[in-house]
Amino acid sequence: MYIDSFQHEDNWQDIKDAAMNTIGKTTGKYPDAQWKRRLILSEHSPIRRMKFYWRWRDLKSWVSVHMVRHKIGIEHWVSTQRSDRTGINRDELPQGALVSHACEADAQALINISRKRLCSCASKETREAWQLVKEEIEKTEPELASCMVKECIYRGFCPEMFSCGYYKTKEFENELAKYREGVNDRE
């Protein structure tokens, strides 16, 4: 599995202008990294203007099924397994059959999906697929990537019925502290 296409355009000025509009102002200067992270952490509506497109190749079909369960703020295009299009009887394909899975998502969707798909309760293969997306995002939007965390970090505790126990570790405490860095700082 790998990502063979990734697209994102810097539209932070548009995002900042949308944020300024919500408080009755018409524009604002291009935001610095601290302002970006604070807006992303606040999850205010202007972050939904930030869009990303990617395509996984050779993704196992059952991992693709995990991803298509996410519906809000994301669109999915998965290669067909229709027998009339592929010439292969789809009833005979294994769950591990490889597909091409393309997505377009906004920043809010990426935060929400990360909470579930980076969690240790998700399958290893699903975590690996989502980690590839996060790594691509980190190249262009490190502030957003720093907010794409598993559920226990996002909430500060584990809500799972059958926890993996990560919340009891020193690593959890360190990751949580890093996530919370600068949260209450004001300019």
In a domain, 26, yes or no: yes
Whichever domain contains 133, its CATH number is 3.30.1360.170
| Cα distance between residue 95 and residue 157, in whole Å | 33
What are 35-59's pLDDT values in tens digits? 999 999 999 999 999 999 999 999 9
Rounded to an integer, the average pLDDT of 20-49 is 94
Pairing of strands 74-78, 2-7: unpaired
Confidence band (pLDDT; 50, 70, 90) for 27?
confident
What are 73-101's pLDDT values in tens digits? 999 999 999 999 999 999 999 899 999 99
In a domain, 23, yes or no: yes
Q: Which of 25, 52, 174 is nearest to 108 (CA)?
A: 52
Strand, coil or helix: 103: strand
Query: Measuring CA to CA, how many Å separate 28 from each of 23, 130, 185, 186?
Result: 11, 33, 20, 17
Residue 147 neighbours by CB distance under 10 Å:
22
- pLDDT of res. 7: 98
Domain that holds residue 37: 2-180
Residue with tokens 């975590």: 127
Element (H, E) at 76: strand 74-78
Tally the domains of the chain. Answer: 1
In a domain, 185, yes or no: no
| Cα distance between residue 118 and residue 152, in whole Å | 10
Rounded to an integer, the average pLDDT of 14-26 is 94
Rounded to an integer, the average pLDDT of 3-17 is 97
Bridge-partner residues for 51, per DSSP?
106
Q: What is the mean pLDDT of the chain?
A: 95
- pLDDT of res. 183: 76
In a domain, 186, yes or no: no
In a domain, 60, yes or no: yes
| Cα distance between residue 157 and residue 166, in whole Å | 10
- pLDDT of res. 182: 73
Confidence band (pLDDT; 50, 70, 90) for 185?
low
What are 128-148's pLDDT values in tens digits? 999 999 999 999 999 999 999
| Cα distance between residue 138 and residue 114, in whole Å | 13
Exposure on the CB side of residue 13, measured as CA atoms within 13 A: 4
Query: Measuring CA to CA, how many Å separate 30 from each of 17, 22, 27, 35?
Result: 9, 16, 9, 10
Is 13's pLDDT higher than 60? yes
- DSSP secondary structure string, 24-64? T-S--PPP-HHHHHHHHHHT-GGGGG-EEEEEEEEEEHHHH
